[in-house]
């Protein structure tokens, strides 16, 4: 029988493969044709999977060699700060390998690995709905401005401050403020003074209709999704060495730590309503159902609150 940990690993790999296939990597399954993909977070999530699937690692590196110029080094640098040391280390090798085979220079490069290009990663254009982020970068350049536009597309009726968008996009507040000012000057957004800061909103939803290609149906909050998956896999691995009581405490601890991420996705803790504090079985069942829904791109999965 496959262990809980193995099943979670499989779901994580299935998700990564599907997203990379969407990005143009040679893969069999594409479950996320209408889900906007975040390339930097996907790269870091893939690094966190380590050597669990060598082919995924090779093919995603191959994609990065070809299309790495559309990936933001600034975002990678900012996002890496919050990653586990193991992820930072694995990413360092990927960055060094990509650098050795292309002009792309990502931060935190360490030692390159042996790598031979397969050339199987091909994407004719970024017109797929899922590639909206890459499409915007191809159009507006790799930088904060493209990310700002992406955020406004994701939530066209939402008002944002520079601080909101800096947290959302992993660019510095200064970069975000400069990009917002440029978009305001271009007439794409309007600014309104609120207390001691500005709130920005789209000048009109119509301004986005000039963008080529189809829009995705959903803009998943990948940061909490990947963080939750990473934490669940870690808990499942640790639980293999724990007894029933300590597993119960482990489940409760993980869900407590993940509370802000669950909230961001509109998810409730599976143990919240249990007067007995919850059981490991309930935790396992919830973790597998949630990770499977994400891996398969199910429309009713919690992509964002």
Partner 1 sequence: MTLGRDKLEEALEALGEVLQARGLVYEIVAVGGSSLLLLGFVTRPTRDLDALALVVEGEYVSARPLPHPFTDAIASVGRAFGLSEEWLNPGPTDLLGFGLPRGFRERVDARRYGGLTVLLAGRVDQVCLKLYATVDQGMQSKHAADLRALQPTPDELVLAARWARTHDPSEGFKQSLLHTLEALGMEDPDDLV
- Give the phi and the psi of residue 200 in degrees, each rounded to 5: -115, 145
Is residue 276 a contact point for partner 1 (CB under 8 A)? yes
Site for partner 1 contains 34 (CB under 8 A): no
Contact present, 211 and 139 (Cβ < 8 Å): yes
Between 51 and 276, whose beta carbon lies closer to partner 1?
276
Q: Which region among 79-87, 154-162, 218-226, 243-251 touches partner 1 (by CB under 8 A)?
A: 243-251
Largest CA distance in the chain: 61
Contact positions with partner 1 (CB under 8 A) in 246-275 = 246, 248-249, 251-253, 256, 275
Rounded to whole angstroms, the Cα distance separating 153 from 219 reads 9
Quick one: 118 or 257, whose CB is closer to partner 1? Answer: 257
68 binding partner 1? (CB under 8 A): no
Q: At what angle do helices 244-257 and 280-295 cross, to 10 degrees?
A: 50
Looking at 96-104, 163-171, 217-225, 236-244, which segment touches partner 1 (CB under 8 A)? 236-244
Smallest distance, Å, CB 272 to partner 1? 11
Q: How big is the site for partner 1, counted in residues (CB under 8 A)? A: 15
Instruction: Pick from 157, 209, 241, 260 the residue near partner 1 by CB under 8 A.
Output: 241
User: How many Å separate Cα 245 from the centre of its chain?
Assistant: 33
Shortest distance, position 242 Cβ to partner 1, whole Å: 6
Which of 210, 245, 260, 273 is close enough to bind partner 1 by CB under 8 A?
A: 245
Nearer to partner 1, 194 or 259 (CB): 259
Given the complex with partner 1, which of 28 and 241 has the nearer CB atom? 241
Give the integer Cα–Cα distance in Å for 137 and 116. 27
The residue assigned the tokens 């398969």 is 296
Query: Mutual orientation of helices 144-154 and 132-140 as an angle, nearest 10°?
Result: 140
Query: What is the three-state SS of 266-299?
Result: CCCCCCCCCCCCCCHHHHHHHHHHHHHHHHCCCC
Output the smallest distance, CB 256 to partner 1, in A.
6
DSSP 243: -
Interface positions with partner 1 (CB under 8 A): 241-243, 245-246, 248-249, 251-253, 256, 275-278
């Amino acid at each position: 029988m496959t262990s809980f940990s193995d099943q979670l690993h499989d779901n994580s790999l299935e998700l990564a493969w599907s997203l990379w296939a969407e990005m143009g990597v040679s893969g069999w399954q594409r479950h996320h044709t209408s889900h906007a993909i975040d390339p930097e977070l996907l790269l870091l999530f893939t690094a966190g999977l380590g050597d669990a699937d060598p082919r995924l690692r090779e093919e995603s590196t191959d994609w990065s060699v070809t299309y790495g110029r559309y990936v933001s080094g600034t975002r990678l640098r900012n996002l890496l700060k919050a990653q586990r040391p193991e992820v930072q280390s694995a990413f360092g090798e990927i960055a060094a390998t990509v650098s050795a085979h292309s002009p792309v220079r990502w931060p935190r490069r360490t030692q390159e690995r042996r790598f031979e290009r397969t050339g199987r990663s091909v994407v004719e254009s970024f017109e797929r709905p899922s590639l909206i982020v890459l499409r915007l970068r191809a159009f507006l350049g790799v930088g904060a401005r493209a990310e700002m536009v992406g955020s406004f597309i994701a939530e066209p009726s939402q008002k944002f401050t520079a601080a909101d968008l800096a947290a959302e996009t992993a660019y510095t507040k200064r970069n975000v403020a400069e990009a917002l000012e440029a978009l305001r000057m271009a007439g794409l957004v309007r600014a309104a003074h609120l207390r001691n800061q500005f709130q920005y909103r789209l000048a009109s939803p119509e301004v986005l209709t000039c963008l080529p290609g189809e829009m995705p149906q959903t803009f998943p909050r990948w940061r909490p999704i990947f963080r939750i998956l990473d934490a669940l896999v870690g808990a499942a691995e640790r639980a293999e060495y724990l007894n029933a009581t300590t597993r119960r405490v482990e489940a409760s601890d993980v869900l407590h730590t993940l509370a802000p991420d669950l909230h961001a996705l509109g998810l409730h803790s599976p143990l919240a309503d249990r007067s007995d504090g919850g059981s490991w079985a309930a935790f396992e069942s919830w973790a597998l159902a949630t990770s499977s829904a994400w891996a398969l791109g199910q429309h009713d999965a919690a992509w964002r609150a």
